[in-house]
Amino acid sequence: MSQGASLLRVGIAYVIAIGAGLAWLLWGLDSGQLWLDGLIADLIATVVIFAFSRFYGNSTFYDAFWSVIPPLLAFYWWIAADAGVNDVRWWLMMIVLLAWAIRLTANWIRTFPGMHHEDWRYPMVRERAGRFEFVADLMGIHVFPTLQVFAGLVPVYVVATRAGEPLGWLDFVAFGVGLAALALETIADLQMHRFIATRKPGQVMDTGVWSWSRHPNYFGECGIWFSMGLFGLAAWPGAWWVFVGTFAMVAMFLAVSIPMMEQRSLERRPEYARVVERVSLFIPRPPKKRPQEKSRTTTSA
């Protein structure tokens, strides 16, 4: 199936999923809590995407859900609450969130070859689950990430529904952190695209921002959610629990996503072991010198 035909099917799935979630918000039972209504709608949309994933035998249908749904939930809360929140804070936050969503979705579209492709981690999750692969597919690949992102949106909900706190310096710090994280993710992706286009068999990426961190894109992603947390804290000073989603994101990347990527890279590219010795795992920092560089430094001294 071509990329265009595949994207058309994914697009149809998202229209139906978003429509199902919206139908719940408009005509479903009213819980009396905007955050809960949003969560239920989010889960309904997730189940619709899961149905498409099972029908086509490809969980790639879920990939863009990570970035498509957050702005929609944010605007729903903002409009439904009509709380008279600080407009400058709201739009500073939404500039970051919208730019992140557009960039991440566009990057996925650019790299998605078609329905014949599926992220290598999805079959691994299903195979490891054995006879419980249906549950692993539903909960591990679809529902868990939805809950993860929803937790990251807690501060967005706070900004959308809590009024009265004036704009302050923390809002601009949050905006700066968000832009910096967005820039890091963008640069990391562009550098990786150029590398993939020209790499030789077995070659590993260890230049540019990838020489400072083995996973700069993941670090940038966590920076986006940290930025959201700062906006939430600015809207509700002292509410440190707004960072629960940020901490969950960091834990997921460090405990699940990064170890899986590291193992795969070590198995497929022996040279990657040397990158591990020199380049930071997650937090960017100057790389250690190569052995030959150390030798030259010692000789010149």
Two tokens, residue 282: 């997650």
Dihedral through CA 162, CA 164, CA 166, CA 169, nearest 10? Answer: -30
How far is residue 139's CA from residue 276's CA, in Å, rounded to a whole number? 32
Check: CB of residue 64 under 8 Å from CB of residue 52: no
Per-residue confidence in pLDDT tens, the chain, 301 aa: 888 999 999 999 999 999 999 999 999 998 989 999 999 999 999 999 999 999 999 999 999 999 999 999 999 999 999 999 999 999 999 999 999 999 999 999 999 998 988 988 999 999 999 999 999 999 999 999 999 999 999 999 999 999 989 999 999 999 999 999 999 999 999 999 999 888 888 789 999 999 999 999 999 999 999 999 999 999 999 999 999 999 999 999 999 999 999 999 998 888 999 999 999 999 999 998 766 555 444 444 4
* For helices 154-161 and 65-81, angle between their N-to-C axes, nearest 10 degrees: 20
Beta strands in the chain (DSSP E): none
Side chain identity at 286, as an amino acid letter? P
Check: CB of residue 115 under 8 Å from CB of residue 7: no
